[in-house]
A = this chain, B = another copy of it.
Amino acid sequence: MNTSERLIQSTRELLWERGYVGTSPKAILERAGAGQGSMYHHFKGKPDLALTAIRRTAEEMRATAEGVLGGPGTPYERIEAYLRRERDVLRGCPVGRLTMDPDVIASDELRAPVDETLDWLRERIAGIVEEGKEQGGFAPDLDGEEVAAAVVATVQGGYVLARASGSPAAFDAGVRGLLSLLGSRTA
């Protein structure tokens, strides 16, 4: 892996672990095994490198989600598969956690990939719910966008509960709770 790529990967890891405000160029360089000069040769500065890293992470998360949501099964099963997919729960969501970062929220450019990713996810799930309504799997009075927002929020909030308690149990409980409500609205 070349230096530029190592810088991006190190930044992705640190943004996930410590957020934007908590990540210093120095820490990135140490992890990447590079000197100051390399970073400022390949990138304009910390925001530029972070933007590249965030875009990469966002792309990857989208691909992972699509792998489950676009898989086989009924609409309910695909949403269940998304909710139950294996996660490193205590690490939190590498995209969602950035919404708690003041510098990310203050910058339209840094916030954009976060917004686009979560928006895409909600739309994707909303479409699946609508599909389920047509097929008769989901109750026709459900609103796809609303249920999708609840699904994504349960995941994002599940990370919060898990990290607060230091255990993935609360995440899993929330998922089971939502599925128990959703499952009863299926045929």
Are A161 and B100 touching (Cβ within 8 A)?
no
Partner of A102, one of B17, B147, B154: B17
CB closest residue in chain B, given A102: B18
Question: A173 to chain B: which residues have CB within 8 Å?
Answer: 145-146, 149-150
Question: Within residues 135 to 186 of chain A, which ones have a CB less than 8 A from any CB in chain B?
Answer: 139, 141-143, 145-161, 163-166, 170-171, 173-178, 180-182, 184-185
Shortest Cβ gap from A187 to chain B (Å): 14
What CA separation (Å) do A93 and B100 show in the bound complex? 10
Are A177 and B149 touching (Cβ within 8 A)?
yes
Chain A interface (Cβ < 8 Å from any Cβ of B): 17-19, 21-22, 92-93, 96-97, 99-103, 105, 111, 114-115, 118-119, 122, 139, 141-143, 145-161, 163-166, 170-171, 173-178, 180-182, 184-185
Question: A122 to chain B: which residues have CB within 8 Å?
Answer: 161, 170
Question: A153 to chain B: which residues have CB within 8 Å?
Answer: 153-158, 160-161, 170-171, 174, 178
Identical copies in the complex: 2
Looking at chain A's contact residues, the main secondary structure is helix
Question: A170 to chain B: which residues have CB within 8 Å?
Answer: 118, 122, 149, 153
Shortest Cβ gap from A141 to chain B (Å): 7
Are B100 and A163 touching (Cβ within 8 A)?
yes
Q: A99-B164, A150-B175 are in contact. List 20 more A-B contacts (CB 8 A).
A: A17-B102, A18-B102, A19-B100, A19-B102, A21-B22, A92-B99, A96-B157, A100-B160, A114-B164, A115-B166, A142-B181, A143-B180, A146-B173, A149-B161, A149-B176, A153-B155, A153-B157, A156-B156, A156-B160, A184-B184
What CA separation (Å) do A24 and B153 show in the bound complex? 31
Partner of A180, one of B19, B111, B146: B146
Shortest Cβ gap from A75 to chain B (Å): 15
